Amino acid sequence: MTLTPVKTPLAVKKMFANYIWDIETKEKVIYLTFDDGPTPEITHWTLNVLKTYNAKATFFCIGNNVEKHPDIFQNILEEGHAVGNHTQNHIKGWKTKAKDYLANIQSCENVFKIQIPKSKFVNQKSLIVNRNSSIINLFRPPYGQITPKQGKKLIELGYKIIMWDVLSFDWEQETSKETCLKNVTSKATSGSIVVFHDSIKASKNMQFALPKVLEYFSEKGFAFESIS
């Protein structure tokens, strides 16, 4: 069982203040994020559920998965969601040299550059206008692993490194679907960035928890927006 907390401690946020853990807002807004897709078995389902609640989200996609399933990537854009870079092959930053890590991220960005111009429904807030910068300026490190050197360089390149305020633990096989739901409903608040996964591994817990999370917070007057 991981020792990672469900809600990121304030001390950690202050220690790594150059990363984005939550979004300051006076509105009742929650930012749902989905990692590791697109995945045929689960991403379409996720999009349909989000649409039911008029919810927007941010999908941190693996470049290799986008290459395999470009149609699903296009569906994400067509539904008005934001997309972010999650590396080409879901590599671990702590075990990868900075040069190789950045090259892997660039490979993912290159895949995005091929796909994004094909869409007429791109969420323009997720793009950087400056042609010298990255086309997608949102990045989440797989496993949350990123070294100071890697992070510094990515920020210099124009990326916003998106971490999280609340983890659902949907991927954790020892976490029950009920606990996954409670993790979010008991810890998320205005401005929270919440992590789910549109992956096969997480599907059992996520498919149980997501509709209930959307219903729970919608009844409390919350909206769900993508990260810009």
Distance from the first to the final alpha carbon of the chain: 33
35 given a catalytic annotation? yes
| Cβ-contact 17, 43 below 8 angstroms | no
Give the amino acid at 208.
F
Exactly one of 22, 35, 165, 170 is catalytic; name it: 35
| Cβ-contact 60, 205 below 8 angstroms | no
81 given a catalytic annotation? no
Exactly one of 44, 69, 81, 197 is catalytic; name it: 197
Retrieve residue 222's tokens: 């919350």
Beta bridge partners of 136: 127
Q: In the block, which residue shows the tokens 């693996």?
A: 62
* Residue 172: count of CB within 10 angstroms of its CB: 18
Q: Which residues contact 97 (CB under 8 A, 6 or more apart)?
A: none
CA distances from 78 to 70, 72, 74, 155, 200 (A): 12, 10, 6, 28, 23
Q: Which residues are catalytic?
A: 35, 197
